Amino acid sequence: MSTTPIIRIEHLTKTYTMGTTHVHALRGISLEIQPGEMVAIMGPSGSGKSTLMNIIGCLDRPTDGSYWLEGLDVAQMDDDRLAEVRNARMGFVFQQFNLLPRTSALRQVELPMLYSGEDNKEARARAALAAVGLEDRGSHKPAEMSGGQQQRVAIARALVNDPAIIMADEPTGALDTRTGQEVLAIFQRLNREGKTILMVTHEYDVGQHCKRVVRFKDGHIIADEPVENPLDALEELARLPRYRDEDEEDEL
């Protein structure tokens, strides 16, 4: 295949200076990710995987090296340009959901469009909520929703500006097994529909749902290999005992 990589990283380093000591979080990383991939980034804490995610997510800049996103050199962009790239091309999903308190699901999903100045925000937000099976929860606030529902709102928010990449940082870390599988099923479906997904996780099982696993240690990539037979979250859901959690009742 002769596609342009959606992410191309070469000799990327990141060094934090704390007083007189230098912490080398990334020691020369090179990585290519093609459109449509679903990649798990794994490694112990302090291995540099979060630093890399921050740089890929345009939240941070590398100390040295190059990063092309969709062929555009973003490594040296200023803060405002990075904000624009995040808004238009990145969708973030966090472990702790990171929804705004006291804000309805619909408003949460409208937020990215607030900063891009879109028209018909509400219609698009409703469509994104429907894509994660929450079309009837638009008026609910985070406190009125279960963890799985909150995470699905977060996914809808990540989707709404039609990003190139969805960055998910331990998306199942705060969820029980069943709702975790439900969230993974959504990611797998989005991937099948063509979205590129990058997922940080330290759970082996979660990584096995992706098509490719990149392992980190001490600021280096120590392994980068495809997953032989990725798990299908929907099949696993079917195998799970059919218990009904009090408020986690909706089907996908």
Contacts with other proteins by CB under 8 A lie at 3-5, 8, 10-11, 15, 54, 57, 59-60, 63-64, 66, 68-73, 79-81, 83-89, 92, 94, 98-103, 111-112, 114-117, 157, 161, 164
C-beta closer to other proteins: residue 169 or 188: 169
Residue 13 CB, shortest distance to other proteins, in Å, is 8
Rounded least distance, CB 89 to other proteins, Å: 6
Q: Output 61 or 236, the one with its CB closest to other proteins.
A: 61
Nearer to other proteins, 161 or 181 (CB): 161
Minimum CB distance to other proteins, residue 188 (Å): 23
Decide whether 160 or 213 has the Cβ nearer to other proteins.
160
Contact yes or no for 243/184 (Cβ under 8 A): no
As a whole number of angstroms, the distance between CA 93 and CA 95 comes to 7
Q: List Cβ neighbours of 172 (8 Å cut-off, separation of 6 or more).
A: 179, 180, 183, 184, 201, 203, 206
| Of residues 112, 1, 12, the one with CA closest to residue 53 | 12
Q: Give residue 229's identity as a one-letter amino acid code.
A: N
Residue 131: CB partners within 8 Å, gap ≥ 6? 156, 159
We find the least distance from the C-beta atom of residue 213 to other proteins, in angstroms, to be: 24
- Taking the least distance from each CB to other proteins, the nearer of 111 and 227 is 111
Shortest spacing between CB 103 and other proteins, in angstroms: 8
Taking the CA atoms of residue 65, residue 92, residue 89 and residue 165 in that order, the dihedral angle to the nearest 10 degrees is 80
